[in-house]
Amino acid sequence: MALSAAIVLAAGEGTRMRSNKPKVLHAFAGKTFLNRVMDSVAALNPDTLAVVVHFQAERVAEAARSYDEQVTIVNQDDIPGTGRAVQCAMAQLTEAGKVDGPVLIAASDMPLLDSETLHRLVEFHTASGNGATVLTTILDDPTGYGRIIRDREGNVLRIVEQKDANRSELAVQEVNTSVYVFEASVLTEAIAGLKSNNAQGEFYLTDALETAKAAGKVGAFAAPDPLTVEGVNDRVQLAALSKTYN
């Protein structure tokens, strides 16, 4: 289970936190969100660990380097979206010759994301022979999350973001956790054609899965414990997660 690279997405501002510091630098149980996710990702021993930064870039980069001085820092330009973040990361890693094999991608706003869940995701991806695998979970209230859309045979067709979903898609309770494993060759091809013709005007990484289907099988692995992949978008969610954790 060798990971060629792991990319941690930490470029966002997190405006709903209503704070003058980036969301990923808020603390949960004494450690920042960023360091918690880096802990779990680093436990998989990727050949390269990269962190994508943009908002207060140097502040986030310094926090990442204080955790691991060997970390690769990727600066996202002003083009928004998770898809653009990964485009920037893959361009830098490919130029440095640091990516050839499975690539793990993880958002950095899940304080309880654990290495065991990530390990099982990567193992599932490898054993399934997928070109891409998305980590999902089932929520009673999926509001705010991208929905996993499957065909009648259960194959993943696409991920539809909340603002782009129709009524039937909004009823789906299986959601995207913003954690993925791609084969590097599949990822490179899939992100090359991303467009921003959506409600947010952003480059969605989720759109890459539709392109990836043409280059290799796309699968999904459900996180055994939804709590491990619960994202934090505001202080209310942070307080609720802290209460559950304690």
Q: Catalytic site residues?
A: 16
Tell how strand 48-53 and strand 72-75 pair up: parallel
Q: CA distances (Å), 95 to each of 22, 98, 186, 203, in order?
A: 28, 8, 17, 22
Distance CA 32, CA 197 (A): 34
Q: Token match 């209503």: residue? A: 18
The gap from C-alpha 110 to its chain's centroid, in whole angstroms, comes to: 10
| Summary count for the chain: helices (H), strands (E) | 8, 11
Assess contact for 110 and 228: CB atoms under 8 A: yes
Cα–Cα–Cα angle for 200, 239, 163, rounded to 5 degrees: 15
- DSSP 8-class letter at 159: E
Q: 10: which residues sit within 8 A by CB, 6+ positions away? A: 22, 24, 34, 51, 52, 53, 60, 64, 108
Q: 72 φ, ψ to 5°?
A: -90, 120
Q: How many CB atoms lie within 10 A of CB 109?
A: 25
Residues paired with residue 106 on neighbouring β-strands, in sequence order? 8, 179
